[in-house]
Amino acid sequence: MAINLSKGQNINLSKEVPGLKKLKLGLSWDTSKFESNGKFDLDVSLFCLEKDEQGPIMKRQEDFVFYNNKISADGSIVHNGDNRTGDKDGDDETIDIDLTKIDSRIKEISVIVTIDDAITKRQNFGMVENASIKLYNTETGEVIGKYDLTEVFSTETAVQFGSLYIFEGEWKFKAVGAGFSVGLNAFIEQYRFQS
């Protein structure tokens, strides 16, 4: 039975599904029926982060997985493509993660969702409904956990949905739900090439 996560809550994937090897992240959203600002193109990006004394950092460009770089350098993460409308039923974008292939230097994978060209289109997450992330056991298709983004983000153009991380040899997922009034470049600048 799937665990419904609240903001800030963790799930120990290694304990919930002993022997878990392959994970699928499914993200879905709808545009508010009251909005007429055109189509919303939400983009899911993953930042594969190392850790040092200053916190999480991304040392290689290949550790940034998004619609223009769909496969991580170690082959452990595959972004299955950009949905530019969010119109379809079920998951709008999915990412496959093979936990057994993740480079040992990677300690955290941050899941960021941004609205493409949000400033020009005057769009924000307050105009998005039913946003959620699901974690599937790829081998069985069962949903392990789900986090529904229930916060109202009236000015935010980006949201950190969650964080997949390893701690003491166990994979965990944290439902973060933090909103930001920035574009994707701000996250790239925050995490990237700090070696």
Task: Give residue 30's domain range.
Answer: 3-191
What does the alpha-carbon distance between residue 154 and residue 162 come to, in Å, rounded to a whole number? 19
Q: What is the pLDDT of residues 142-182, one digit of tens each?
A: 999 999 987 778 888 889 999 999 999 999 999 998 888 87
- Joined tokens for residue 131: 């946003």
Pairing mode of beta strands 108-115, 158-167: antiparallel
What does the alpha-carbon distance between residue 131 and residue 61 come to, in Å, rounded to a whole number? 28
State how far the alpha carbon of 109 is from the alpha carbons of 40, 89, 118, 119, in Å. Answer: 25, 26, 24, 26
- Joined tokens for residue 160: 């950190």
Phi then psi dihedrals of residue 13, to 5 deg:
-65, -35
What does the alpha-carbon distance between residue 170 and residue 117 come to, in Å, rounded to a whole number? 37
- Band of the pLDDT at 43, cuts 50, 70, 90? confident
Q: What is the pLDDT of residues 108-148, one digit of tens each?
A: 999 999 888 888 888 888 888 888 999 999 999 999 999 99
CATH of the domain at 159: 2.60.60.30
What does the alpha-carbon distance between residue 98 and residue 141 come to, in Å, rounded to a whole number? 14
Going by the DSSP 8-state scheme, the letter that residue 143 receives in this structure is: E
Going by the DSSP 8-state scheme, the letter that residue 71 receives in this structure is: B
Residue 155 buriedness (CB in 10 A; 0-12 / 13-18 / 19+): exposed
Q: What pTM was computed for the model?
A: 0.87
Q: Are 187 and 129 in contact (CB under 8 A)?
A: no
Number of folded domains that form the chain: 1
Q: Are 126 and 164 in contact (CB under 8 A)?
A: no
Q: What is the pLDDT of residues 48-71, one digit of tens each?
A: 998 877 777 787 888 899 988 999
